[in-house]
Amino acid sequence: MLSRKLSSNSHGQDSSYFLGWEEYTKNPFHAIDNPNGIIQMGLAENQLSVDQIKGWLKRRNLTGCEPGVSDFKELASFQDYHGLPAFKSALAAFMGKIRDGRVTFDEEKIVLTAGATSANEILMFCLADPGDAFLLPTPYYPGFDRDLKWRTGVEIIPIHTSSSNNFRITTSSLEQAFRHAQTLGMTVKGVLITNPSNPLGTTITRSEFNQLIRFVDSKNIHLISDEIYAGTVFNNSPDGFISVAEALHCGNHSLSQRIHLVYSLSKDMGMPGFRVGLIYSNNPSLVSAATKMSSFGLVSAQTQYLLANMLSDESFVHSYIEENRKRIRERKQLMVSRLHEVGIPCLESNAGLFCWVDMRGLLDESGPSFGGEKRLWTRLIHEVGLNVCAGSSCHCSEPGWFRICFANMDEWAMEVAMDRIKSFADSIRGQEQAAGTVLGQRFILLLLLSFIFVDDLGRTLSSQVKS
């Protein structure tokens, strides 16, 4: 009855990322009404600074950000897919501020989209044909299977990274992915990275950045940088976060036409419900094509109007960015230290709304395997009451890693979650110790028995010799 696209499984709906979400909605944690419910730690949402936004709305008493009678008709009938100029200009300035003024943005090169989800899909439609490939470093955001592949028919080829170098991209891993796509008969159209990385919470280093630029230049392909977490970087040094926007001014015209940036207000402003995203590109044909495509997912005029007002309030934006970063850093430190206390390490990170957590030590006795990771994930959700994101749903090459989000809950829920992990880790270690003790006891018993046996045998033999 339905189309072939709908019956294909390239959406990724059956990954633990989406399944965990479903489980959570059936039994959500509430400190008073449902204290044994599931705590949602699988969703990279930023609720740490909602009070700041509410404060701004309150101070404005909603005047100046809600259309008044005089503006109503204009906004209600606005359907220009180029967006409200005041909003695009406020967004361009905001993107520069989020990057501490190290790069500037031109509002003419912005295409507004319904979130980064739509921005990424539009880029696929504009840059690739069905069956073409984009290379993505693993582990990657589980939603990309849906956003990049599902409706476009584009294929994702993984650039495998490993814990041995903290999941950094290398030239050889890039080359290997490129060759792999070629052997599958695919045309490689580009590389897509998330910087800061979802799920790693790290930013690319200068050396990775240079390697990537050299690679896409030499292969004559595109580079997309999804910088949706730009404002979550909390180590504020110039090399703490290198935006791909830097390369737009590299002086190499052909290359700068093939570099595109994706952004959204879903994470930095904690507004996924507003569906505000964008594509930023130096390439006029791409900007024009993407603008046409954006008519399938526009941002409402009312949202643009409200946010144009908010983002052009410079003193609010300045204090919001600083305070938001501080709160993210503190919350991350809280989680890392609580996990550290129970012997669960996290990858060192400097951004994001999550940590990349090494739970290999909690895998069952069958050793590291994706089956073991799935069993651990199932126990975490059903026995411990925590929905976290298993590494396999991010296409991680090594089993036992999990993405745990920390910014979508209050501190109380966070403490409950950490207590639950502690009891779980303690119980596993207790069982291991008990198993170790039983094993040890069995070993001693066997040893004693063998002494008795040898002793008996000796006596029997000597009596036989005597007789």
Query: Which residues make up the interface to ligand PLP (CB under 6 A)?
Result: 44, 115-117, 141, 143, 194, 198, 226, 228, 264, 266, 272, 277
- Considering the complex, what minimum distance in angstroms separates the CB of residue 18 from ligand PLP? 12
Please name the residue ranges forming H helices in 99-158: 115-127, 144
- Considering the complex, what minimum distance in angstroms separates the CB of residue 120 from ligand PLP? 6
Closest alpha carbon to 380 in 409, 411, 408, 402: 402
- Considering the complex, what minimum distance in angstroms separates the CB of residue 181 from ligand PLP? 22
- Measured from the CB atom, the residue of 262 and 416 that comes closer to ligand PLP is 262
- Considering the complex, what minimum distance in angstroms separates the CB of residue 392 from ligand PLP? 17
- Considering the complex, what minimum distance in angstroms separates the CB of residue 43 from ligand PLP? 8
- Considering the complex, what minimum distance in angstroms separates the CB of residue 116 from ligand PLP? 4
Q: Which residue is nearest to ligand PLP (CB)?
A: 115
- Considering the complex, what minimum distance in angstroms separates the CB of residue 144 from ligand PLP? 7
- Measured from the CB atom, the residue of 276 and 336 that comes closer to ligand PLP is 276
- Measured from the CB atom, the residue of 134 and 424 that comes closer to ligand PLP is 134
Closest alpha carbon to 265 in 94, 64, 18, 85: 94
CA 436, 437, 441, 442 torsion-angle sign:
negative
Distance, in Å, from the CA atom of 14 to the CA atom of 11, rounded to the nearest integer, reads 8
- Considering the complex, what minimum distance in angstroms separates the CB of residue 439 from ligand PLP? 44
- Degrees (nearest 5) of the Cα angle 45, 49, 51? 125
Distance, in Å, from the CA atom of 388 to the CA atom of 39, rounded to the nearest integer, reads 9
Residue 24 makes CB contacts below 8 A (sequence gap 6+) with 38, 40, 42, 387
The answer to whether the CB of 446 falls within 8 A of the CB of 438 is: no
- Measured from the CB atom, the residue of 291 and 425 that comes closer to ligand PLP is 291
Closest alpha carbon to 299 in 137, 139, 111: 111
- Measured from the CB atom, the residue of 279 and 384 that comes closer to ligand PLP is 279
Tokens of 220: 């004559």
Question: Nearest 5°: phi and psi at 277?
Answer: -140, 175
The answer to whether the CB of 201 falls within 8 A of the CB of 347 is: yes
If 0-12 CB within 10 Å is exposed, 13-18 middle and 19+ buried, where does residue 219 land? middle
Distance, in Å, from the CA atom of 421 to the CA atom of 258, rounded to the nearest integer, reads 45
- Measured from the CB atom, the residue of 152 and 194 that comes closer to ligand PLP is 194
Closest alpha carbon to 201 in 299, 59, 377, 335: 335
- Measured from the CB atom, the residue of 115 and 190 that comes closer to ligand PLP is 115
Distance, in Å, from the CA atom of 232 to the CA atom of 46, rounded to the nearest integer, reads 10
Catalytic residues: 141, 226, 228, 267
Closest alpha carbon to 152 in 324, 296, 251, 321: 296
- Measured from the CB atom, the residue of 291 and 363 that comes closer to ligand PLP is 291
N- to C-terminal Cα separation, the chain: 93
